[in-house]
C-alpha cells in the first residue's frame, strides 16, 4: 500500500497507539465504566509481552495491532501451529484505506516466518467490517472455538490456513 509505513511501535508512539485503539473500539465498549478501555490503551504492556505494530499514514499512527508470538500471554485461541493477533484497530478517520488489511497481512508474514501453518483470531459478533476484511483475506469462521471471556462478551473465532 502506498504511503503506509508498517513498523514496531516506538516509545514516543505508545500514547497515540493507545488512543487509536480506544477510538476504534469505542463503538463496541459498554459505556464509560468499561474496564476494557484501559486494557486497549495499555500498549506498553502488550508490547513488552507480545509485539505491537503500527501503521503510519503521513507520519501519524493510523493503525495498531498486537501480534502474539508463540509463548506470549496475549494468545487466546491460537494453537501451537498457528499465529494469532489481537486488538487490530484503525483510526476511524483512516478506516477503509487498507490499513487494517496491511496490519493483518503483516501478522500473517510474521507467523509464517515463525513456522506457523495458519492464523487464528477472535472478534466480537458486532465487528462486521472486520469480518468482511477477514473474509477477503481468506479467513473462515471456526464456531467450535467461539468463546466468552466475560459474561455478555461473546467472541467469534476465525481461522486461516497458509
Task: Please tell me the pTM assigned to this model.
Answer: 0.95
Give the model confidence (pLDDT) of 48-89 as tens digits: 999 999 999 999 999 999 999 999 999 999 999 999 999 999
Better-scored residue on pLDDT, 31 or 134 = 134
Query: What percent of the chain is predicted at pLDDT more than 70?
Result: 99
Quick check: 101 pLDDT over 70?
yes
Please, which residues have CB within 8 angstroms of residue 19's CB and are 6 or more apart in sequence? Answer: 41, 61
- CA gyration radius, the chain: 15
Band (pLDDT 50/70/90 cuts) for residue 111 is: very high
Give the model confidence (pLDDT) of 141-157 as tens digits: 999 999 999 898 999 99
Please list the alpha-helical segments (H only) found in the chain.
14-25, 36-41, 43-49, 99-113, 128-136
If we measure between CA atoms, which residue out of 22, 42, 21 comes closest to residue 88? 21
Amino acid at each position: 500500500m502506498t504511503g503506509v509505513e508498517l513498523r514496531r511501535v516506538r516509545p514516543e508512539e505508545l500514547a497515540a497507539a493507545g488512543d487509536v485503539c480506544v477510538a476504534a473500539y469505542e463503538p463496541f465498549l459498554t459505556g464509560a465504566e468499561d474496564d476494557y478501555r484501559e486494557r486497549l490503551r495499555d500498549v506498553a504492556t502488550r508490547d513488552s509481552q507480545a509485539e505491537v505494530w503500527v501503521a503510519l499514514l503521513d507520519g501519524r499512527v493510523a493503525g495498531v495491532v498486537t501480534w502474539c508470538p508463540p509463548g506470549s500471554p496475549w494468545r487466546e485461541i491460537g494453537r501451537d501451529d498457528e499465529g494469532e493477533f489481537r486488538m487490530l484497530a484503525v483510526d476511524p478517520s483512516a478506516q477503509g484505506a487498507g490499513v487494517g488489511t496491511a496490519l493483518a497481512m503483516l501478522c500473517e508474514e510474521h507467523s509464517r516466518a515463525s513456522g506457523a501453518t495458519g492464523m487464528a483470531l477472535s472478534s466480537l459478533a458486532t465487528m462486521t467490517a472486520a469480518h468482511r476484511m477477514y473474509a477477503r483475506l481468506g479467513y473462515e469462521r471456526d464456531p467450535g472455538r467461539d468463546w466468552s471471556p466475560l459474561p455478555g462478551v461473546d467472541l467469534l473465532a476465525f481461522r486461516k490456513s497458509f
